[in-house]
Amino acid sequence: MPSIPEPTALPPRPVLVTGVSGFVGLQLAKRLLAQGCQVTGICRKPRPDIEQLGIKIIYADLADTPAIRAACQGMHTVFHVAAKVGIWGNFADFHATNVEGTQAIVNGCRDFAVKKLVYTSTPSVVFNGRSIAGQDESLPYGENIPCPYPTTKVIAEKAVLAAHDQPPGHLKTVALRPHLIWGNDDPNLVPRVLERARAGKLRIVGDGDNRVDLTHVDNVVDAHLLAEIALDRSDNNPGGKAYFISNGEPVKLWDWINELLQNHDIPPVHRRVSLPTARRLGAALEAAWKLLRLQGEPPMTRFVASELAKDHWFDISAARRDLGYQPRISMSEGMKRLLS
């Protein structure tokens, strides 16, 4: 694959990155610093290591809506990356962070005349329990999604897109839907797969032939920077729209997982469970967790069962056209970097 240059940088500007201590947020903040931007980040817990990079930190929870709104003051662009993520939990907690926190960001952008808001959404907003193979943003939002994370992200994404070009200030907004983010320093996807495999807790759900998109973190950062630039365009302006973001190289999920395991000297996954069985197990475990008020996440849920068994890869033509997005880090290059 030929080398693709990084996105052209905008002039230095004051920017806010929510979730600056997270995987995407920190990588994005570092790239913005390299552009000469004055970067302010929001996170909940003390991170002197991030402050030492030259990033100003505002310590606040997204549910602290007055503090979140005030953090937008003086910013040219807000990158709203932070969210409460997970497959299980109290709906009110997800709502407070993902919906009320996002509305506070929108309000702050409007009240303090922020020019642009780039919102990190998720493809899970179109979850419908069926295979999604190469479809585009015309897919409708999911309904009755059996998971509070995508349910609340639907509400939040709608609020961000509805705020585009509305008075006062005519804020420009765009939403990005990166799928299964991975790469070096990934604290979530890869470590969790490896941990469960080492514990013998992984099972192939369904026939094992389902294809999925993954997205290298460097490509995700590129997409955010490109979206900010594209909001100034007169042609193919992405304002008020959502875009799927991926590597554009759908892989067989279980083949990719087994390649990952092999490269870490972990035996491949062979044991299988049918999707109907996994869904029944997920429903039973969800009921038990609710009834007994158990801590942590159930080892299986109906949502996870579908995600592990169904196709979910997307057409990224719109992002290529409107954002100028071109994945720079291929799946093979990403794996090489991960193992280096």
> Residues with catalytic annotation?
149
CA distance 205 to 310: 9
Token representation of residue 267: 């035996």
Which string of DSSP letters, residue by residue, matches 221-264?
A: HHHHHHHHHHTT-SSS--TT-EEEE--S--EEHHHHHHHHHHTT
For residues 81 and 28, the answer to whether their CB atoms sit within 8 Å is: yes
Instruction: Find the helix packing angle between 23-34 and 217-230, rounded to 10°.
Output: 60
| Kind of pairing between the strands at 181-182 and 215-216 | parallel
Closest CA to 111 of 158, 69, 64: 69
Query: In this structure, is the dihedral angle defined by the CA atoms of residues 251, 254, 256 and 257, taken in order, positive or negative?
Result: positive
CA distance 147 to 164: 27
Backbone angles phi, psi at 129, to 5 degrees: 80, -5
Token representation of residue 331: 């799946």
Which string of DSSP letters, residue by residue, matches 11-74?
A: PP-EEEEETTTSHHHHHHHHHHHHTT-EEEEEESS--HHHHTTT-EEEE--TT-HHHHHHTTTT
CA distance 204 to 272: 5
Map residue 173 onto helix, strand or coil: strand
